[in-house]
Structure formats: C-alpha cells, structure tokens
C-alpha cells in the first residue's frame, strides 16, 4: 500500500509538472510574446511617428482666402484646365481652381447658376479648410535609426528664388526655383504642368560642402479641416486613397482606402494607446503629435486625398521604394489629414548631386484622364481613384456604355435610355418566360380560388391540387422573382455610376432636368413651380418638407409605372400581403424621390419596358389586365372581356 501511495504521488507530481510545463509553453509564453510584440509595435509606431515627415501645424489665426494667399510671394499657374498660383515660401502648390471651359461655359462650376464661380480645388494654409501639396527633404532616414542632423534643409517657411525666365507656370513653360542653404547645399526645384491636371516636380540637391550627407525625399498632401457639404453622398468614398503594395508580403499595388470619419476615430484610439504606453513606461507623450494610422512599404504606387469628384494625389517614381502613410494631427481644434510618402535615402558626397521626381495630380477625376496617366506613367490602378465600389465588374462596363452612347447622342439622359434598352434586351428571353408565367398565374386566380373554397377544411389537399393545377398550366410562381433579382445589382451599379462619375455631374436631360446626378428639382408642394415659393424656406418645417415631401414630376412618373407593374402581376393570396403590395408604389415614390434623377430615368423607362412586354403577353393570352380594363371603361364597355 505505501508503495502504491508513493507511486501514485510520483505519478501525480509528474502529471502536475507536465501540466504546468504545458500551460507555460502553450498558454503563458504565447500570451507574453503577444504582449511583447504589441508593445514593440506601439513603440515602433511612436518612433515612426517621430521620424515621419511632419505635417505643418495648423494656423494660429484663420484668415480669408485672399489674405492667406497674399501672405507669400507667388508664381501664377495658367493652363487650359487650371488657374491659380504656387507659393514661393515653401515652394508649395496650394492655390488652384478648375477653369476648363466648354465654349463660353465653365466645365466645372460650383453650381448650375449663371455666373457661378469655378470649383476651388486647393487653398493655402491660413485659410479655413486649407488643402495643399508639399515637397521636400528630411534627414530622418528610417524609424529608430539615429542619423547626423543636416542643417539648412528647406522648410515650409523657406522662401525660394525664381531662377528661370518663365514667371508663369504653364504647359511647356516650367519654372525653376532655387534655395542655397548655409551649409553649401544647393536645392533646385523645377515644376512643370501639362494641359490637364498633372504637375511634375523635379528636385535636385547639389552638395558643395566638405562633408557627405544623407537625406530622404518626401511629399505630402494635407487638409486642415473638412468643409461641410450639403447633400453629402453616403455611398462615395471620401478620404485617403491610393494604390500601394505592402512589402514583403504584397508587392503588387492594392487599393488603400480610409474614409475621413474612421480615419479620425482610428487616430484617436491610437493616440490614447500611445499616451497610456508613455504613462506606463515613464516616457513623455505630447498631445497633438502626428498619429500614423496606416503605413505601407511599397514599390512605387500612389496616394492622396479625394473628395467625391476631386483628387490631389502624389505619384512617386515607380521604381522608388517608398513608405506611404496616412497620418492625422489635431492642432488647436483643427484636424490635419495628411497622406504622405518618404522615398529611399540618398547619400550625397561632396561635389556630387542627386535628383528625384514626384508628380502631383490635382484636378477632376475624369476617367479618360486617369486612364491616360495610368498608361503614360505606369501608375498602377490610377483609374480606381474613382470609387467604382464592390460592383466594379458592373459599374465600369455601365460607365463605358454610357460614355459610348453619349459620344453618339450628345445627351447623357438619352444615353441612360439607350443603356436601359440594351440591358432589357439582354435579359429579354428570361423576362419573357417570367412574364408568360406571371400572366398564366394571373389567369389561374379564379380556379385557384375555387380549389381553396372546395378544400377549405383540408389545407394539404388544397395545396396539392393548386400545385397540380400549376404543373398542368406550366406556371412557375417563382419565375417573377428572377428578373427582379437580376435588376437589383443593375440598379445598384447604375446608382454608383451616377453618384461617382464626374461626367454625370451637371449633365442635363430635357426640360426641367438640368442635372442627372441630383434629385428632381420640382416638387408637388409648390405645384411643380407654378406657385412662387420654395417649400424649403417655410419657417420651422421647411427643412422637413424639403427632405421628406420633395416629390417631383419624375418620382411621380416612377410611382405610377411601378403601380402599373404591380397591378399587372397576380395578386398575393393573403389579403394583408395584397395591401402591402398596393402600398409599395407609394412608399417607393417617397424613397426614390431623393435619388439622382438619372436613376429615376433608368428605372421609369425600365418599368415602361416591363409594362409593354407584360401587356403584349397578357393581351395574347387574353388575360385580364388593367390597361385593357381602362380602355374598355373609356369606351363605355365596362370591364374588358377575357
């Protein structure tokens, strides 16, 4: 017995020890390693933030745009597409308007009103909601790697000297700027621009000193605060955008998107984490310092900041290995959104020089222009600066089809009708079978009612007899759902194209429809303009009226066609379901009223096509339908005979 107890004790101790070793190896060690890795990442982020190109601080005083522009000497920019100036203090591109014209009219005006100003793209620091591009050099070579400081590097406050004969930046007329640092470094910046939206910035640094230096090029696009935009589209990406790899795992360029709202939220979380880590380790954390939210080690690529229709994007040399980052700084209550990259460090020996080239796209997201730059400069996925969405396999072909028909018809409304017709013809065979099935289904309503009455006490038998009747008449009750399921992605794709493609902005149709990308401007509340007042200006309730009761001519046409489509379908067997289907056209009229007019043009015409197709089939099968009933009543014949 004692021997057994000793043996059991030894076995117990061995098992307990093994369990402890296993728990330590399999649970505690991985958990500790995970914590250490997380700590290292946080410290690396903090170090990286200190080493990253710093966004400029927000202005202490907000001034008018003109005052901010006048704070520095400037060189004018004049191209067929852009007008503005670049600031000599910092050699910064920060003042741009889109002034391209179609004849006497601006191509991109702020509104449709006559005499409306051109769209403003970039605005100088010091003005509210500044948006600009910076280029320069830093002596911070890599995160956490100490390097000798290089004095005299140009800063945003450095005033450059114009050394070229050209004093206006224009296509074919580049300007050259020079800055001589006290340590005998000569910085030369040549800026050129094409006829559309692409700037080319070529920086050369010559070392005339006695010691070698190592510096690193960087470029940044920054926005200091965001403007409040009325009727902001929820389905369009606005924020950071780019196409970069992420070495070593992902060398191929992938879209890197970050909307402004999540950007700010993620930055706040990371800043809180960094502050907690600093407090735990006894380090100093300065509130308001730059927080890097996303970082990518990429071979080439591009990155920038985008609005719905406008883009400012940096394009490094595609052979350059860059560190692309999305950062945020909050200074004096102003959120500074910063998309920047740092290039490969350059060693410059005495008597030598290096040159680097960066491009800046600043303009409208015209698909043709983006594709042309993508091809010319080898910029990966540059056309995807347009937010094509998850259904890009549909939105891109739809856009190309719209563009094709527009080039032949000269009107985007007609192009929408043409594309709608093409889509309906493509699904015509399937829709034809569905329409025939629905027509036969409607014709069977009376026999089905008789079966239901005959077997009212035997639901199983009634169901069996109903299914047998459908099989004899070759009716599929689910056939009517298939065309609807097909039209849902088509609808979403059309909506996306109308929302994101600048080609649709301010595109007119006929009559009162002057902008297919906006909702129908008419409203039933003022009898479609016959009464001389704007319902939105009504005290107290004007906003609610304009938001929820803004029902125009086009939504009413859509609602009528939807009602007619519903009326031509067989009624639902349940009375409650029948009432719901009867209310749906009214409900959808209110919902669709806020959608772009171009989308309602598509949907209404698609309904008209469905009505015509269904009527032909129902008339051929001599099925009761509301159109024949209406014609019969007009003739005084009562209900149409079947």
pLDDT, one tens digit per residue, over 398-414 is: 999 999 999 999 999 99
DSSP-H helix ranges across 473-574: 481-500, 542-548, 553-568
How many other CB atoms sit within 10 Å of the CB of residue 458?
A: 11
Mean pLDDT (whole number) for 436-461: 76
Q: What pLDDT is recorded for position 560?
A: 94
Is there a contact between 499 and 596 (Cβ–Cβ < 8 Å)? yes
Mean pLDDT (whole number) for 332-336: 89
In order of 315, 561, 620, 632, the CA distances from 639 in angstroms are 70, 21, 17, 6
Reported pTM: 0.83
> Rounded distance, CA 447 to CA 449, Å?
5
Q: What pLDDT is recorded for position 376?
A: 96
**Does the pLDDT value for residue 630 go beyond 90?**
no
Mean pLDDT (whole number) for 179-190: 94
The pLDDT tens digits of the residues spanning 497-535 come to: 888 889 889 999 988 999 999 889 999 888 888 888 788
Q: Which of residues 416 and 146 earns the better pLDDT score? A: 416
Residue 639 DSSP symbol: S
pLDDT band at 490 (very low <50, low <70, confident <90, very high): confident
pLDDT band at 447 (very low <50, low <70, confident <90, very high): confident
Q: What pLDDT is recorded for position 100?
A: 93
**Does the pLDDT value for residue 550 go beyond 60?**
yes
Residues ≥6 apart with Cβ < 8 Å to 21 = none
Distance of CA 364 to the CA centre of its chain: 14
> Rounded distance, CA 247 to CA 324, Å?
11
3-state secondary structure of 552: coil
Report which listed range, 436-440, 496-500, 554-558, is most confident. 554-558
Could you check whether the bond before residue 246 is cis, i.e. omega within 30 degrees of 0? no
> Rounded distance, CA 491 to CA 387, Å?
16
Residues ≥6 apart with Cβ < 8 Å to 286 = none
Q: Which of residues 285 and 150 earns the better pLDDT score? A: 150
Is there a contact between 201 and 361 (Cβ–Cβ < 8 Å)? no
What integer best gives the mean pLDDT of the chain? 84
Longest pairwise C-alpha distance within the chain: 113
Is there a contact between 79 and 170 (Cβ–Cβ < 8 Å)? yes
**Does the pLDDT value for residue 473 go beyond 60?**
yes
Q: Locate 327 and state its tokens.
A: 């950062």
pLDDT above 70 covers a percentage of the chain that reads 85
Nearest to 304 by CA among 537, 175, 134, 463: 134
> Rounded distance, CA 247 to CA 297, Å?
5
Q: What pLDDT is recorded for position 108?
A: 94
Mean pLDDT (whole number) for 13-19: 48
> Rounded distance, CA 326 to CA 341, Å?
9
Q: Locate 502 and state its tokens.
A: 């600048």
Mean pLDDT (whole number) for 293-314: 95
Is there a contact between 334 and 58 (Cβ–Cβ < 8 Å)? yes
Residue that is written with structure tokens 């001389």 in the block: 532
The CB-based long-range contact list for 401-408 (8 Å cut-off, 24+ gap) reads: 402/497, 402/503, 403/367, 403/503, 406/503
pLDDT band at 476 (very low <50, low <70, confident <90, very high): low
Q: What pLDDT is recorded for position 24?
A: 52
Q: Locate 67 and state its tokens.
A: 């005052």
**Does the pLDDT value for residue 448 go beyond 80?**
no
Nearest to 470 by CA among 564, 580, 573, 624: 573
Q: 207 forms bridges with which residues in the sheet? A: 185
Nearest to 199 by CA among 377, 345, 368: 377
Q: What pLDDT is recorded for position 1?
A: 36
Q: What pLDDT is recorded for position 38?
A: 46
What CATH class does 50-228+236-387 carry? mainly beta
Ranges of CATH 2.70.98.90 domains, the chain: 50-228+236-387
Range with the lowest mean pLDDT among 92-101, 348-357, 432-441? 432-441
pLDDT band at 234 (very low <50, low <70, confident <90, very high): low
The radius of gyration of the chain from alpha carbons, rounded to an integer in Å, stands at 33
**Does the pLDDT value for residue 12 go beyond 50?**
no
Residue 362 DSSP symbol: E
With b for 16 or more beta-carbon neighbours within 10 A and e for fewer, the 284-295 pattern comes to eeeeebbbbbbb
In order of 75, 120, 182, 197, the CA distances from 69 in angstroms are 11, 14, 28, 21
pLDDT band at 22 (very low <50, low <70, confident <90, very high): low
Mean pLDDT (whole number) for 431-452: 74
């Amino acid at each position: 017995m004692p021997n057994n107890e000793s043996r059991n004790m030894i076995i117990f101790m061995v098992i307990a020890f093994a369990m402890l070793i296993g728990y330590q190896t399999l649970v505690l060690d991985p958990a500790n390693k995970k914590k250490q890795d997380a700590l290292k990442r946080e410290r690396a982020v903090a170090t990286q933030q200190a080493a990253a190109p710093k966004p400029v601080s927000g202005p202490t005083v907000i001034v008018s745009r003109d005052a901010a522009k006048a704070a520095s000497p400037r060189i004018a920019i004049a191209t067929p597409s852009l007008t503005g100036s670049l600031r000599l203090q910092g050699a910064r591109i920060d003042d741009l308007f889109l002034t391209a014209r179609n004849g006497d009219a601006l191509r991109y005006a702020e509104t449709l009103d006559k005499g409306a100003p051109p769209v403003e793209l970039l605005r100088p620091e010091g003005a509210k909601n500044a948006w600009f591009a910076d280029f320069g050099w830093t002596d911070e070579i890599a995160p956490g790697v100490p390097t000798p400081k290089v004095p005299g590097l140009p800063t945003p406050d450095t005033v450059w000297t114009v050394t070229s004969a050209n004093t206006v930046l224009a296509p074919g007329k580049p300007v050259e700027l020079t800055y001589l640092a006290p340590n005998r470094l000569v910085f030369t910046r040549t800026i050129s621009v094409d006829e559309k939206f692409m700037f080319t910035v070529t920086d050369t640094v010559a070392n005339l000193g006695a010691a070698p230096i190592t510096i690193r090029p960087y470029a940044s696009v920054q926005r200091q605060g965001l403007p409040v935009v009325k009727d902001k589209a929820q389905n369009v990406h606005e924020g950071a955008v780019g196409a970069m790899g992420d070495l070593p795992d992902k060398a191929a360029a992938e879209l890197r998107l970050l909307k402004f709202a999540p950007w700010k939220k993620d930055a706040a979380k990371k800043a809180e984490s960094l502050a907690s880590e600093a407090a735990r380790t006894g380090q100093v954390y300065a509130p308001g310092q730059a927080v890097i939210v996303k970082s990518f080690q990429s071979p080439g690529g591009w990155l920038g900041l985008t609005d719905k229709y406008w883009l400012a994007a940096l394009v490094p040399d595609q052979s350059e290995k860059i560190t692309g980052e999305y950062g945020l700084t909050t200074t004096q209550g102003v959120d500074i959104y910063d998309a920047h990259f740092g290039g490969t460090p350059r060693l410059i020996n005495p008597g030598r020089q290096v040159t680097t080239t960066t491009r800046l796209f600043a303009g409208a997201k015209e698909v043709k222009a983006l594709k042309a730059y993508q091809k010319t400069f080898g910029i990966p996925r540059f056309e995807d600066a347009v937010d094509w969405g998850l259904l890009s396999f549909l939105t891109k072909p739809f856009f190309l089809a719209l563009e094709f028909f527009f080039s032949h018809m000269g009107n985007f409304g007609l192009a929408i009708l043409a594309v709608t017709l093409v889509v309906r013809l493509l699904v015509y065979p399937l829709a034809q079978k569905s329409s025939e099935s629905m027509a036969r289904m409607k014709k069977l309503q009376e026999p089905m009612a008789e079966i239901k009455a005959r077997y009212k006490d035997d639901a199983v038998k009634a169901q069996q007899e109903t299914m047998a009747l459908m099989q004899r008449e070759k009716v599929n009750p689910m056939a009517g759902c298939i065309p609807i399921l097909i039209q849902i992605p088509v609808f979403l794709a059309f909506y996306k194209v109308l929302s994101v493609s600048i080609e649709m902005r301010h595109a007119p149709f006929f009559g009162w429809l002057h902008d297919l990308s906006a909702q129908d401007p008419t409203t039933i509340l003022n009898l479609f303009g016959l009464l001389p007042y704007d319902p939105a200006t009504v005290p107290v309730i004007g906003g609610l009226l304009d938001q929820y009761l803004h029902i125009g001519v086009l939504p009413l046409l859509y609602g009528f066609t939807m009602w007619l489509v519903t009326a031509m379908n067989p009624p639902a067997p349940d009375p409650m379901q029948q009432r719901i289907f009867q209310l749906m056209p009214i409900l959808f009229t209110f919902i669709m009223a806020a959608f772009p007019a171009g989308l309602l043009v598509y949907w209404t015409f698609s309904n008209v096509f469905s009505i015509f197709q269904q009527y032909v089939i129902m008339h051929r099968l001599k099925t009761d339908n509301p159109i024949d009933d209406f014609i019969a009543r007009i003739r005084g014949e009562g209900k149409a005979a079947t």
